Amino acid sequence: MPEAELLALEPEAEVRALARRRSSLLDESDERIWVVLDGGAKLCRVGLAGKRLVEAILEPGDIFGRISAGADRAAYQVEALEPTRLAGLARARFEQLLRRHPDLAYCVVQDLEDRQRRLVRRLEALVFKDVRARLAGTLVELTREHGEPCPHGFAIDLRINQEDLAELIGASRQMVNRVLGELERRLYVQRMGRVLCVLHRDRLERLADADGELSSR
């Protein structure tokens, strides 16, 4: 989008600030599309019994919300992983932008399709793989999406804590802690303060594909 047109949207947007680990519930009456301005958050679907399914880890520039009026009516919750600002734009206004800017529409469709593909992979892992394989696959995914190269391999900022990892893979925090310790002893990963270093991503990938059996090498 042209910068001038983007700046012209600012007065129309509702800006919402969330402190670290604060949540905001988006119910079926919410008619806005949201974008992460800065910070980071996890987007969760919330069931009637209050259980949550993490749909995505959001970074600045990511969007969420019901683009189509006919979308599913599930409740969503966004939880800030660090101090985060969100901007919400009326859905009808967002639809106008998509119609006027085909490149923007293509990027949005591509982003939502990628997010759906990752969610399907995670659900398949819940059915077919054990906790070790699920955690290994999730760490590989996090290095691809949010990791930064470091002298040891890839670094994942642990603002995504063990409870977040547990929600991502459908396990208890205690089990995640135990498996992380096992992976660390086997030199798959190394914890350094707030950072988790993936030392051998290729070994983690093999572990994720091997249904959780740790290599003896």
Model confidence pLDDT, tens digit, residues 120-169: 888 888 888 899 999 999 998 888 887 788 887 888 876 788 888 898 88
**With contact defined as beta carbons under 8 Å apart, do 36 and 60 qualify?**
yes
- All structural domains of the chain, each given as residue ranges with its CATH number in brackets, are 3-125 (2.60.120.10), 129-209 (1.10.10.10)
pTM of the predicted protein model: 0.77
Whether the per-residue pLDDT at 217 is higher than 50: the answer is no
Radius of gyration of the chain (CA): 19
The answer to whether the Cα torsion of 162, 164, 167, 169 is positive or negative is negative
How far apart, in whole angstroms, are the C-alpha atoms of residue 33 and residue 24? Answer: 14
CA-to-CA separations, 78 to 35, 202, 209, in angstroms, rounded: 11, 32, 30
Tell me the per-residue pLDDT of 83-118, one tens digit each, with 9 for 90 and over: 999 999 999 999 999 999 999 999 999 998 998 888
How far lies 193's CA from each of 160, 167, 198, in Å?
13, 21, 14
Distance (Å, whole) CA 18 – CA 159: 15
What's the CA gap between 197 and 83, in Å, rounded? 23
